[in-house]
Amino acid sequence: MKRIILTLLVVILSLSAYSQTLSAYTDYRDYFYVFDDGHSQMLEYFPTQSYRVGGACLAYIDNRGVFKIFFRNNKITLEKYRVTKYFATNNLLVYTLESQLVVFDRGKRLTLIYNPGFYAFGDSIVAFYDEPSSYLKAYYDGEITEVEAGLSGRPMKSMIVGDNLFAYVDQADYFKIFYQGSLIEESYSPNSYKVGSNTVAYVSDADLEFKIFYEGTTITAENFEPQSYKAGEDMVAYVDETGSFKVFYKGETIELSTFKPEFYRIKKNMLIYSEQDYLMVFTNGKSYTLSNYIPEKYYVHRNVVAFIDDQNQLVGFYKGEQEIISYEKLNSIEIFANVVSFEIGIHTNKTYYKGNVY
């Protein structure tokens, strides 16, 4: 009997519907603050139990266990009872309250299902299994869609959820993609597949060709299986069979190097990679050199890279421009979309946003 493994991978990649200007921090008095588009605002006098920063809202559980959000310059009590789990993406807030799976989207709260068989999500999509009806369902753009029914149990063998789409192999070994409210049948079960935002990359099982689905169209990127590949927002980076390092970006294939990088990773719309011990970034169709060595630590999110240089300075890269953010020793650093939040000295909080330090 064939062993069936359900794989649920949540890929946090995004197409932003919001300005992504939020971050949060606690000051030396333990007051809880939100930073929003260049301004800080105190939200709580007592430390929070936890918080999550998304592109649309800041969600947190306060000192008393009340679930609150900061949304469009307003502090809102969303649930009076403590939620079980919660996740803030670029566009959605997804959480569980007892048996409910709930989404908060563009100011509206919606219970998707009670007692979901499973759920997985991206920045603008939630996939979940309705066990009583055996339906795989999706929440996207304010609507719940019945994607596919299973005749006996779950309709998929494997599944990966991206930012605005998901791909899966059904029980009949067909490979399918749910994109912009429609279900697209691609092929038989692939040898491997990965998803991003607007992108799905996979290796066909029959001939090992490397294919890329982008905005509804599938192309054959390579006639042979790549050594490795990763999917991101409007891009797929891969090392081809000869060792050349390439990126498919918005319909165009670009050769970044004729040799394999020591490492590469994609975060949002940023491709970070090494080239002869140089730290490089590919974003918005261009490659930039960040440093002539590989820093011990670096932080990546949408449009932003931050790292500690060899002089222990905090360096920031934002939309093609690089500068020193801070000369002082750091206590901690976090990065939220376009915002870098860091602490220096005796609990002094600073924020780097759009080239300025606040």
Residue 306 lies in a domain: no
What's at 5, amino acid-wise?
Answer: I
126 and 78 part of one domain: no
77 and 28 part of one domain: yes
Query: Would you state the pLDDT for residue 151?
Result: 63
72 and 130 part of one domain: no
Other beta carbons within 10 Å of 148: 18
Q: Nearest 5 degrees, angle CA 197-CA 198-CA 199?
A: 85
Question: What residues contact 344, with CB distance under 8 A and at least 6 apart?
Answer: 326, 328, 329, 330, 331, 350
Number of domains in the chain: 2
| Overall size of the chain counted in residues | 358
Give the pLDDT band of residue 20 (cuts 50, 70, 90): low
Assign residue 85 the CATH number of its domain.
2.40.128
112 and 34 part of one domain: yes
Tell me the residue range of the domain where 46 lies.
Answer: 19-116
Residue 309 lies in a domain: no
Query: Would you state the pLDDT for residue 40?
Result: 93
Query: Would you state the pLDDT for residue 254?
Result: 97
Give start and end residues of each alpha helix (H) in 237-307.
Answer: none
For residues 123 and 94, what is the distance between their CA atoms, to the nearest angstrom?
A: 10
Distances (CA, A) of 157 to 5, 42, 171, 173, 284: 6, 47, 6, 8, 35
Last residue of a domain, one of 61, 92, 116: 116
Over residues 256-299, the pLDDT tens digits come to 999 999 999 999 899 999 999 999 999 999 999 999 999 988 99
For residues 37 and 187, what is the distance between their CA atoms, to the nearest angstrom?
A: 45
* More confident call, 329 vs 337: 329
Last residue of a domain, one of 187, 211, 240: 187
DSSP label at residue 197: B
For residues 41 and 26, what is the distance between their CA atoms, to the nearest angstrom?
A: 11
Instruction: Name beta bridge partners: 87.
Output: 94
27 and 103 part of one domain: yes
Query: Would you state the pLDDT for residue 6?
Result: 32
Over residues 161-193, the pLDDT tens digits come to 999 999 999 999 999 999 999 999 998 899 999
139 and 95 part of one domain: no
For residues 273 and 262, what is the distance between their CA atoms, to the nearest angstrom?
A: 8
* More confident call, 356 vs 215: 215
Last residue of a domain, one of 168, 187, 206: 187
131 and 181 part of one domain: yes
Q: Kindly tell me if the per-residue pLDDT of 303 is higher than 50.
A: yes
The stretch 298-317 carries a mean pLDDT of 91
Residue 103 lies in a domain: yes
User: How much is the mean pLDDT over the chain?
Assistant: 90
Residue 162 lies in a domain: yes
Residue 177 lies in a domain: yes
86 and 154 part of one domain: no
Residue 14 lies in a domain: no
* CA 230 from centroid of its chain's CA atoms: 13
Residue 175 lies in a domain: yes
52 and 107 part of one domain: yes
Q: Are strands 32-36 and 22-26 parallel, antiparallel or unpaired?
A: antiparallel
Residue 134 lies in a domain: yes
101 and 143 part of one domain: no
67 and 149 part of one domain: no
112 and 123 part of one domain: no
Over residues 72-86, the pLDDT tens digits come to 999 999 999 879 899
pTM beyond 0.75: the answer is yes
Over residues 85-115, the pLDDT tens digits come to 999 999 999 999 999 999 999 999 999 999 9
Beta strand segments in 98-251, E: 100-105, 108-114, 119-121, 125-130, 135-140, 143-149, 156-161, 165-170, 174-179, 182-188, 192-195, 199-203, 210-214, 217-222, 228-232, 235-239, 245-249
Question: What residues contact 232, with CB distance under 8 A and at least 6 apart?
Answer: 13, 196, 197, 199, 266, 267, 268, 269, 270, 271
